């Protein structure tokens, strides 16, 4: 029987479920002209959710529902930034959705349900909870990708995402069943000890491989990356920005719970596998991004390469590595929302701004937006003193301390290769002339412009003062 303590531990999650249901009912009785109220209510719901997560955080890790749910420092940080990035997405998405007649309540409720899935996933203390959180996140994401029902490209992307996602979920579930068969437990805390004394080690390792496939798919790491370019390009940009931010935090949380909390005793098996995935992601992501002309596909392959850097931290298999990987996941979520935020600021009815050439002469049309995009591109490239530079530095250092100097060298070379296509975007904005009909000045929504400015400038501020955030990440992984 659930106790009052269990309910209090899950209070942020229960609150968001109730709020999402209320928003769904309000939308059913609202007139289209009143949807602006729903927009601001949704943002307020997320901000209150952040308050509940932070204010109710216990000093020591606690569990609920027989250990199925864990509330600790790791979950707190990931939840705060998942809710924060989703609030940014809502601000950025509104003008885009209004212009394309997609300004519907389903966008907000599905996104909130997806965030609830993120929160359950990063707090999972049991394999069942991992799968429950993952499916809530992915099912909501499938529906979001298909939000524009009149677009064949969007429908195609949703079908591809669903088919490949179902395959990855099946492999993850199959791996979990083999791990359960080898250890006799679903609890991650008990799994950690049982893994060292199992009578069927081969079955356990076989299950581990299938679970890594599921993790690789959620991260978008090569060779499980095939869904990312098509989904990023085919989704409405307002949905792409969400898929490229909060779920990456969930993927890190899922990897940490399964690999360290659950199968940390088998790190000598999964470390080399993650190292291979990191190399493939860095190579494929950076090399294929060079030849892209579509801006959303370029950012998709950029995502693949960035997940390779996140894996560099996980390969360390220690507190330093996990802290650096979490730090990187947070930095990428903030950089990704800012990058797509600029695209949304430039998009308008009948114009998606999804080609690199659409940024030609942006400095003449909107010097401020061009400057913000420059900050984002330099941060993604890892140019000092921006946030992305120190995030890359931390994961490279973690790989070196794990004894994988060769892997850090690959990461450094990949950063140099990646610099080319990020600088290409900057060159187009500052040195190319705009095409005919593109000379008009850009007038984005005021709220979008203000929040986007803060988002991009935070990348510079955190680059100059990244210490407190890194210390927060390190504090939740005691050595």
Cα 315 to Cα 313: distance, rounded to the nearest angstrom:
5
Count of domains for the chain: 1
**DSSP symbols for 430-466:** HHSPPPTT--SPP---HHHHHHHHHHHHHHHHHHHS-
Query: 16 and 45 in contact (C-beta within 8 Å)?
Result: yes
Backbone angles phi, psi at 70, to 5 degrees: -120, 130
Backbone angles phi, psi at 62, to 5 degrees: -130, 160
**C-alpha distance across the termini of the chain, in Å:** 36
Sort residue 30 into left (φ over 0), alpha (ψ -120 to 50) or beta.
beta
pLDDT of 332 reads 95
pTM of the model: 0.95
Whole-angstrom Cα Rg for the chain: 21
Select from 208, 219, 223, 204 the least CA-distant residue to 276.
223
Render pLDDT for 230-265 as a digit per residue (tens, 0 to 9): 999 999 999 999 999 999 999 999 999 999 888 888
Where is 227: in which H helix or E strand?
Answer: helix 227-234
Q: At what angle do helices 127-145 and 105-122 cross, to 10 degrees?
A: 160
Sign of dihedral through CA atoms 26, 27, 30, 33?
positive
- How remote is the C-alpha of 421 from its chain's centroid? 22
Cα 88 to Cα 100: distance, rounded to the nearest angstrom:
19
Structure tokens at 67: 């250990």
Q: Structural domain of residue 413, as residue ranges? A: 4-475
Render pLDDT for 310-368 as a digit per residue (tens, 0 to 9): 999 999 989 999 999 999 999 999 999 999 999 999 988 777 888 899 899 899 888 99
Cα 35 to Cα 461: distance, rounded to the nearest angstrom:
34
Render pLDDT for 122-134 as a digit per residue (tens, 0 to 9): 999 999 999 999 9
pLDDT of 33 reads 82
Per-residue pLDDT of the chain (479 residues; tens, 9 = 90+): 678 888 889 999 999 999 999 999 999 888 888 888 999 999 999 999 999 999 988 888 899 998 899 999 999 999 999 999 999 999 999 999 998 888 899 999 999 999 999 999 999 999 999 999 999 999 999 999 999 988 899 999 999 999 999 999 999 999 999 999 998 889 998 887 787 777 788 888 899 999 999 899 988 898 998 899 999 999 999 999 999 999 999 999 999 999 988 888 888 899 999 999 999 999 999 999 999 999 999 999 999 999 999 999 999 989 999 999 999 999 999 999 999 999 999 988 777 888 899 899 899 888 999 999 999 999 999 999 999 999 999 999 999 999 999 999 999 999 999 999 999 999 999 998 877 666 566 777 788 999 999 999 999 999 999 999 999 999 998 76
Query: 192 and 173 in contact (C-beta within 8 Å)?
Result: no
Query: 65 and 6 in contact (C-beta within 8 Å)?
Result: yes
């Amino acid at each position: 029987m659930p106790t009052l303590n269990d309910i209090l531990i899950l209070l942020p999650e229960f609150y968001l479920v109730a709020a999402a249901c209320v928003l769904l009912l309000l939308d059913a009785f609202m007139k289209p002209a009143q949807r602006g109220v729903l927009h601001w209510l949704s943002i307020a719901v997320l901000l209150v959710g952040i308050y509940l997560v932070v204010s109710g955080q216990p000093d020591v890790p606690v569990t609920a529902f027989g250990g199925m749910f864990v509330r600790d420092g790791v979950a707190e940080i990931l939840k705060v930034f998942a809710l924060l990035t989703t609030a940014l997405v809502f601000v950025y998405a509104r003008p885009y959705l209004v212009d394309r007649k997609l300004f519907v309540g389903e966008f907000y409720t599905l996104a909130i349900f997806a965030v609830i899935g993120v929160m359950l996933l990063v707090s999972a203390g049991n394999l069942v909870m991992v799968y429950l959180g993952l499916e809530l996140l992915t099912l909501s994401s499938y529906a979001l990708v298909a939000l524009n029902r009149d677009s064949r490209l969007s429908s195609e992307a949703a079908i591809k995402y669903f088919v490949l996602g179902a395959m990855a979920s099946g492999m993850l579930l199959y791996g979990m069943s083999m791990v359960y068969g080898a250890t006799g437990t679903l609890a991650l805390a008990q799994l950690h000890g049982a893994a060292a004394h199992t009578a069927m080690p081969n079955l356990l390792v076989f299950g581990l491989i299938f679970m890594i496939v599921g993790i690789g798919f959620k991260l978008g790491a090569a060779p499980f990356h095939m869904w990312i370019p098509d989904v990023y390009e085919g989704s409405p940009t307002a949905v792409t920005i969400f898929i490229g931010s909060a779920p990456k935090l969930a993927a890190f949380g899922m990897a940490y719970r399964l690999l360290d909390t659950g199968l940390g005793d088998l790190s000598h098996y999964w470390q080399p596998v993650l190292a291979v995935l990191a190399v493939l992601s860095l190579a494929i992501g950076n090399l294929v991004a060079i030849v892209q002309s579509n801006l959303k596909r370029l950012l998709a392959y950029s995502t693949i390469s960035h997940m390779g850097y996140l894996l560099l931290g996980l390969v360390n298999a220690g507190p330093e590595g996990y802290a650096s990987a979490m730090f990187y996941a947070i930095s990428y979520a903030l950089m990704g929302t800012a990058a797509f935020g600029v695209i949304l600021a430039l998009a308008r009815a009948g114009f998606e701004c999804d080609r690199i050439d659409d940024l030609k002469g942006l400095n003449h049309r909107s010097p401020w937006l061009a400057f913000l995009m420059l900050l984002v591109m330099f941060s993604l490239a890892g140019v000092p003193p921006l946030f992305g530079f120190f995030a890359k530095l931390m994961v490279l250092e973690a790989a070196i301390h794990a004894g994988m100097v060769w892997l850090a060298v690959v990461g450094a070379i990949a950063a140099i290769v990646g610099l080319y296509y990020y600088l290409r975007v900057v060159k187009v904005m500052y040195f190319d002339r705009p095409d005919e009909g593109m000379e008009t000045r850009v007038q984005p929504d005021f709220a979008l412009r203000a929040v986007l400015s803060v988002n991009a400038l935070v990348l510079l501020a955190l680059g100059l003062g990244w210490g407190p955030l890194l210390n927060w990440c390190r504090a939740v992984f005691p050595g």
